[in-house]
Structure 1
């Protein structure tokens, strides 16, 4: 099996297990081919970003008990969809990210230098 790599080319580090995140709900932002939304970006959620995301139609903060989703709170990490990240970037609202926990597949949507400008863990 191919090693899971982060956007910098190193080993992909976990993003969050509380709340449990990732397309595969394994705590990592690995984005395989079946993940059309490219949920590859490990973000640091702030109240400002969560409010923006909710207004943009991607409500991350409201719990959905039937899906065992507690909602993301400010200060937590979460695997955000790549298209949502790019949209937030284009609108000047992108959150800080943990680049060592961000899967390399995000580079299909945004260049590394731009991604690095949001990194808090370089």
Structure 2
């Protein structure tokens, strides 16, 4: 059964959560958003761009994202705990083991799971103005009802 997205999903700036990726279709609910609901025990809140190093790191921890067709450069909603684990293993802000984060598309729940706004900004993939709803000059799109749920393992 499909789950209707919350129109109240907010990003880390407390603005409407922006669409992150439809190619590949990402998100726990496979609707393109890194929104989190009660069914999402992994808290897939972090909107990150995959790197070879992160894919290797995740596979070494038992979650081979390549097995579902992901490759470096893909935009993907990541488990907060796995992203944090990679960040803690990093040797600095430029270490490619940590996927760069798109703040406008990262669900605010990431901040309730041991990641601070300062850390997210340190690993931000783009220049954003605090409080913006997304990229300058663009309004984020509203979530639409997904056709169904496809879950990833982590």
Report the TM-score when normalising by structure 2: 0.70
Q: How does 1:13-52 map to 2 (within 5 A)?
A: 13-52=18-57
Match of 2:75 among 74, 77, 82: 77
Aligned length: 115
Unaligned runs of at least 5 residues, structure 1: 64-70
Report the TM-score when normalising by structure 1: 0.87
When structure 1 is superposed on structure 2, of 95-104 and 1-10 the one drifting more is: 1-10
Quote the RMSD (CA, aligned, Å): 1.3
Which protein has the larger Cα radius of gyration, Structure 1 or Structure 2?
2
Q: CA deviation at 1:38?
A: 0.4
d(CA) in 2 for partners of 1:98 and 1:78? 10
Q: What is the SS of the residue equivalent to 1:62? A: helix
Unaligned runs of at least 5 residues, structure 2: 1-5, 91-96, 129-154
- Report Cα offsets for 1:48-106 as digits up to 9, x if no partner: 2111211122211123xxxxxxx211111000011111111111132111111110000
The structure 1 segments of at least 4 consecutive aligned residues displaced by more than 6 Å after TM superposition are none
Match of 1:113 among 114, 118, 121: 118
Q: CA deviation at 1:32?
A: 1.3
